[in-house]
Structure 1
Amino acid sequence: MGVEIRVEGLTKAFGSQTIWQDVSLTLPAGEISVLLGPSGTGKSVFLKSLVGLLKPNRGHIWVGDRDLPYLPESQLYETRKLFGVLFQDGALFGSMNIFDNVAFPLREHTKKSESEVKRIVMEKLELVGLLGAEGKLPGEISGGMKKRAGLARALVLDPEILLVDEPDSGLDPVRTAYLNQTMIDLNAELNQTFLIVTHDINTARTVPDNIGLLFRRELVMFGPREMLLSSEEPVVRQFLNARRVGPIGMSEEKDVSELEAEAKMGMDVGKLPPIPPQQMPTTGRIRPAQHAPGAWCAAHGVTPPPGSFIDELGRNWVEEWPRYVAAMSSPVGGHQIGGPQIGDQQVAGQQQPPGARY
């Protein structure tokens, strides 16, 4: 089971340069959260602060009942064991094969026998689909395989919290989609708390339970996926639409004169795209943290963008969800080969569940 992280009034600066200030959010236990933001807004700095590699200037990071920035060194060391980290480039040791890379934390931080180390390493490699590649060096495998090897190493100590820094960096869209599916499946199986930093809009729109956006040294918004994807905040709409028009500029934010000029020309950040169905585990089973499509919008009186929650087969998942839940809960439907039937379509197995890509 994952651990809740509560961030309260967190501020980080390097000298006179403030990276972000007064950031407050809660990463719910066992849920997948995504952090977005333009380049240079301090997303990676935020991850390093969460794990205690950087100390904030002020504020609190509660990991369970421990306030990370104020822990003595011995307790900080123990608390870090709750975390697994997947770095942008995988951060593999180039002179070690994949097996030894994944085994490194076990050999460094535990007293397990080599037979136990081998069992755990092979289990994690199987979990990320790398069985058979354990003898290869990092230079002999693809970028996507490096990311999965880094993920296996991040998982090898069975952390309760997984921090993932730009998993799409250097990967093509297909490998990014496969890695996203792997993380969804891991969360469904292990129920860990995930925080994923990404620039990939498709990842942000389909994978997480919660989304946050950093901009202008502040956390603009953080909350359930549907809250951000239906937001009328100009910076949110600009980012989701990947448009040049709006408050985000080439360096960071635009000044008042630039925004006024855009307004006079009648330029806007565009309409919000439809909210897609959330991606499901490959088994088709519902993750514990997953909510019914459209539930947040309905509860808060928000009208989602037109076309929301409709998948590539034309199914409206606000309507289909109750039938899907009932089918998954039934003794027959939840265990039959290929998954439950919804309408005339099979939604697991050969026909994929909502949001799935494979």
Structure 2
Amino acid sequence: MGVEIRVEGLRKSFGRQVIWEDVSLTIPAGEISALLGPSGTGKSVFLKNLVGLLRPDRGHIYVGGGDVPRLRESDLYALRRQFGVLFQDGALFGSMNLYDNIAFPLREHTKKGEAEIRRIVLEKMEMVGLSGSERKLPGEISGGMKKRAGLARALVLDPEIILADEPDSGLDPVRTAYLNQLFVDLNTRLGATFLIVTHDIGTARVLPDNLGLLFRRGLVMFGPREMVLSSTHPAVNQFFNARRQGPIGMAEEKDLAEVAAESAPQSMPAPIPPQLMPSDGGLRPAMRRPGEWLREHRVTPPPGSFIDDEGRNWLTDWDALAAQRQRR
């Protein structure tokens, strides 16, 4: 099963440039979480702090009982074995074929024999839909295949936490949809904790269990998907509904008078779509009943929420839909 990540009072700066002042959140074990924000708000920097590649100015990052910024190098090395990282461009070695790229962590960090390595590599390649592509070079495959090869490599050490830095970058909407479905299926199969950094609003609205928004040197909000997508907070409402009106401008900083004028809640959030389901017809353990968070907190969903492409209402028809999936 996945591991919980608890972040408390994190501050990071580079010289005089403050990235964020005080970030605190808990990423639940075994769930899919997504972190978004305008460019330059430190999303990738946040991932690097989680694995100890960068150290914060202050604060704590608790992973499996250890506080990452305070671990000795030897302990940090051991803790990183719990992480699998999918880099933005796949970060494949251009001179190695896909098989050797994916086998690389096993050869570097374990004493497994080649027969065992082959079994593991082929298993992970099958998981991400790359069976039969072992001998291809990175230069011979598409961007989507490179992402999946990078994901297979992130999985070979059986990590409990999987970090993905803008996995949809450079992909068309169809390949992005396939990749999102792959994340859902892998989370169902492996039970690992997923944290995905993305700019893609479509991904953020249907994929994760939890959503977070970084903006203006801080974490504006982090919590269950339904909480964030129903929020009328000006920055959250603007960003997740891709609206021009709001505190997020073309530049990172806006005039204070302009910010004050836009601080009032904006228009109604867009309808909340149904969440992606596993492709095998089952249900993910981390999934909550549609609308459950809204009911618990007496929040009325935006009109048109939870209606899928076939016109089914997941709020009223969920029991029948869930039973139908489980019979497949």
**TM-score category of the 2 structures, normalised to the smaller one:** over 0.9
Contact kept, 8 Å, 2:9 with 2:24, in 1: the verdict is yes
C-alpha spacing 1:262/1:36, structure 2 compared with 1 (3 Å): closer
The corresponding residue for 1:173 is: 173
The corresponding residue for 1:108 is: 108
5+ residue gaps, structure 1? 334-338, 340-358
* In structure 2, C-alpha distance between the alignment counterparts of 1:327 and 1:261, rounded to whole Å: 49
The corresponding residue for 1:350 is: none
The corresponding residue for 2:258 is: 258
C-alpha spacing 1:310/1:72, structure 2 compared with 1 (3 Å): same
Contact kept, 8 Å, 1:293 with 1:309, in 2: the verdict is yes
Alignment of 1:257-296 (within 5 A): 257-259=257-259, 269-296=266-293
* In structure 1, C-alpha distance between the alignment counterparts of 2:262 and 2:193, rounded to whole Å: 41
Contact kept, 8 Å, 1:90 with 1:146, in 2: the verdict is yes
Alignment of 1:304-323 (within 5 A): 304-323=301-320
The corresponding residue for 1:52 is: 52
SS at match of 2:96: coil
In the TM superposition, what is the alpha-carbon distance from 1:253 to its structure 2 partner?
A: 3.4
In the TM superposition, what is the alpha-carbon distance from 1:322 to its structure 2 partner?
A: 2.1
* In structure 1, C-alpha distance between the alignment counterparts of 2:283 and 2:240, rounded to whole Å: 26
Kindly provide the amino acid, as one letter, of the partner of residue 154 in structure 1.
Answer: A
Kindly provide the amino acid, as one letter, of the partner of residue 125 in structure 1.
Answer: M
The corresponding residue for 2:25 is: 25
In the TM superposition, what is the alpha-carbon distance from 1:260 to its structure 2 partner?
A: 6.0
* In structure 2, C-alpha distance between the alignment counterparts of 1:245 and 1:318, rounded to whole Å: 30
Q: Which moved more, 1:194-203 or 1:268-277?
A: 268-277
Kindly provide the amino acid, as one letter, of the partner of residue 159 in structure 1.
Answer: P
Contact kept, 8 Å, 1:241 with 1:270, in 2: the verdict is no
Alignment of 1:107-186 (within 5 A): 107-186=107-186
- In the alignment, is residue 38 of structure 1 matched against residue 35 of structure 2? no
The corresponding residue for 1:197 is: 197
In the TM superposition, what is the alpha-carbon distance from 1:268 to its structure 2 partner?
A: 8.2
The corresponding residue for 1:233 is: 233
In the TM superposition, what is the alpha-carbon distance from 1:320 to its structure 2 partner?
A: 1.6
Q: Which moved more, 1:268-277 or 1:125-134?
A: 268-277
C-alpha spacing 1:262/1:41, structure 2 compared with 1 (3 Å): closer
Q: Which moved more, 1:319-328 or 1:23-32?
A: 319-328
5+ residue gaps, structure 2? none
* In structure 2, C-alpha distance between the alignment counterparts of 1:287 and 1:255, rounded to whole Å: 45
SS at match of 2:59: strand
SS at match of 1:317: coil
SS at match of 1:289: coil
Contact kept, 8 Å, 1:247 with 1:253, in 2: the verdict is no
* In structure 2, C-alpha distance between the alignment counterparts of 1:35 and 1:117, rounded to whole Å: 33
Percent identity at matched positions? 71
* In structure 2, C-alpha distance between the alignment counterparts of 1:248 and 1:46, rounded to whole Å: 20
* Residues 28-54 of structure 1: CA deviation (Å, up to 9, x unaligned): 000000001001000000000001110
C-alpha spacing 1:268/1:10, structure 2 compared with 1 (3 Å): closer
SS at match of 2:220: strand
* In structure 2, C-alpha distance between the alignment counterparts of 1:114 and 1:132, rounded to whole Å: 18
* In structure 1, C-alpha distance between the alignment counterparts of 2:319 and 2:262, rounded to whole Å: 45
Contact kept, 8 Å, 2:232 with 2:265, in 1: the verdict is no
* Residues 223-262 of structure 1: CA deviation (Å, up to 9, x unaligned): 0000000000011111122222110111213223334677
* TM-score (normalizing by structure 1): 0.89
Contact kept, 8 Å, 1:166 with 1:199, in 2: the verdict is yes
The corresponding residue for 1:297 is: 294
Contact kept, 8 Å, 2:166 with 2:197, in 1: the verdict is yes
RCO higher in 1 or 2 (8 Å CA, sep ≥ 6)?
A: 2
SS at match of 1:118: helix
Contact kept, 8 Å, 2:234 with 2:262, in 1: the verdict is no
In the TM superposition, what is the alpha-carbon distance from 1:4 to its structure 2 partner?
A: 0.5
Kindly provide the amino acid, as one letter, of the partner of residue 318 in structure 1.
Answer: L
* In structure 1, C-alpha distance between the alignment counterparts of 2:27 and 2:225, rounded to whole Å: 13
Kindly provide the amino acid, as one letter, of the partner of residue 116 in structure 2.
Answer: E
Contact kept, 8 Å, 2:184 with 2:277, in 1: the verdict is yes
C-alpha spacing 1:37/1:150, structure 2 compared with 1 (3 Å): same
The corresponding residue for 1:347 is: none
Figure out how many residues of one structure are paired with residues of the other and give that number.
Answer: 328
Kindly provide the amino acid, as one letter, of the partner of residue 218 in structure 1.
Answer: G
* TM-score (normalizing by structure 2): 0.97
* In structure 2, C-alpha distance between the alignment counterparts of 1:121 and 1:287, rounded to whole Å: 25
